[in-house]
């Protein structure tokens, strides 16, 4: 089989449109997952057994089952209950819920990495528990958690490719359509992999800069 690399520039606009969709899906899922992770992670720190139990069940369920199955449940399963979403929205919901479970554990670990003396010191200054958490504990916890957050964000960029299974025209599915027209699977998949590498490498470098910029003095890499 002859390798025809000219199919890349000929289909570049189409593939870059797939990159745009991938970035949109990943960015929204990461943002919603971050907010959900803060909520669920806070519940995982609760001393209320019911709140703790429900949040733990959520985390275990989403971390213990395949993301692809979660996507199918939202897109193909929920319509049986009268709840229906288009493919793009269903993909976002599944990715966000999954990411929230992982980010909840990242946040919880970050909070637990802060010594109890920090809370005690802030309370002794007259701060309420909530003020101490918002002003002292959480800012430091998020700094400490930047490395695992980076890993999760990169994972979400790669995992966004799974929404192709329900017809969302992101980068991977765009590549498959190009292959069906050009019959150049090796060339196209190599280029698609290269585009994913650019996305993940750039994200990692940006977040590494943020990590160094906001690292707690005296703690290497924010740890």
What six digits make up the tokens of 126?
């007259």
Spatial CA neighbour of 177 closest among 17, 63, 2, 6: 17
C-beta separation of 33 from 95 below 8 A: yes
Provide the pLDDT for residue 220.
47
| Token pair recorded at residue 176 | 């498959």
| CA dihedral angle for residue 118, residue 38, residue 223, residue 134, rounded to 10 degrees | -30
Q: Given this model, what pLDDT does residue 135 score?
A: 85
- What pLDDT was estimated at residue 218? 55
pLDDT at position 38 is: 96
Q: Work out the end-to-end distance of the chain between its first and last CA atoms, rounded to an integer number of angstroms.
A: 51
HSE (side-chain half, CA atoms, 13 Å) at 206? 9
Q: Evaluate if pTM is beyond 0.85.
A: yes
Residue 13: CA atoms inside 13 Å, Cβ hemisphere, count?
1
Q: How many CB atoms lie within 10 A of CB 124?
A: 9
Task: State mean pLDDT over 207-214.
Answer: 86
What does the pLDDT look like over 82-131, one tens digit per residue?
A: 999 999 999 999 999 999 999 999 999 999 988 888 887 888 888 887 88
What number is the average pLDDT over the span 196-205?
A: 97
In this structure, what token pair is assigned to residue 70? 């979660």
Structure tokens at 118: 């920090």
Give the CATH number of domain 7-222.
1.10.3720.10
Using CA atoms, how far apart are residues 188 and 104, in angstroms rounded to an integer? 36
Per-residue confidence band for 1, with pLDDT thresholds at 50, 70 and 90:
low
Q: Percent of the chain scored above 90 by pLDDT?
A: 78
d(CA 195, CA 25): 16
Query: Nearest to residue 172, comparing CAs of 28, 33, 14, 30?
Result: 14
pLDDT of residue 222: 41
Evaluate if residue 133 carries a pLDDT over 90. no
Distance from chain centroid for Cα 44: 19
In degrees to the nearest 10, what's the CA dihedral of 70, 74, 77, 82?
Answer: 160
Sequence-distant (≥ 6) Cβ neighbours of residue 146 within 8 angstroms: 207, 210, 211, 214, 221, 222
Rounded percentage of the chain residues whose pLDDT exceeds 70: 96
Q: Are 187 and 7 in contact (CB under 8 A)?
A: yes
CA distances from 212 to 2, 106, 114, 153 (A): 47, 18, 19, 17
Predicted confidence (pLDDT) at residue 217 exceeds the cutoff of 80 = no
Give the residue among 137, 91, 135 at the shortest CA–CA distance from 111. Answer: 137
The confidence band for 187, taking pLDDT boundaries of 50, 70 and 90, is very high
Domain map (residue ranges) of the chain: 7-222
pLDDT band at 223 (very low <50, low <70, confident <90, very high): very low
């Amino acid at each position: 089989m002859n390798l025809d690399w000219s199919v890349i520039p000929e289909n570049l606009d189409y593939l870059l449109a797939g990159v745009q969709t991938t970035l949109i899906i990943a960015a929204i899922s990461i943002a919603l997952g971050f907010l959900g992770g803060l909520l669920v992670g806070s519940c995982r720190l609760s001393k209320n057994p019911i709140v703790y139990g429900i949040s733990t069940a959520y985390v275990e369920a989403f971390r213990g089952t395949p993301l692809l199955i979660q996507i199918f449940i939202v897109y193909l399963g929920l319509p049986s209950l009268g709840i229906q979403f288009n493919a793009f929205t269903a993909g976002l919901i599944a990715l966000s819920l999954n990411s929230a479970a992982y980010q909840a554990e990242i946040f919880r670990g970050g909070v637990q990495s802060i010594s109890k003396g920090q809370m005690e010191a802030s309370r002794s200054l007259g701060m309420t528990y909530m003020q101490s958490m918002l002003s002292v504990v959480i800012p430091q916890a998020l700094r400490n958690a930047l490395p695992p957050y980076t890993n999760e964000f990169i994972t979400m960029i790669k995992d966004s490719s799974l929404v192709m299974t329900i017809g969302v025209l992101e980068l991977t599915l765009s590549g498959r359509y190009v292959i069906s027209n050009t019959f150049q699977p090796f060339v196209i998949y190599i280029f698609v992999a290269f585009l994913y590498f650019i996305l993940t490498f750039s994200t990692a470098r940006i977040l590494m800069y943020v990590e160094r910029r906001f690292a707690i003095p005296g703690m290497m890499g924010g740890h």
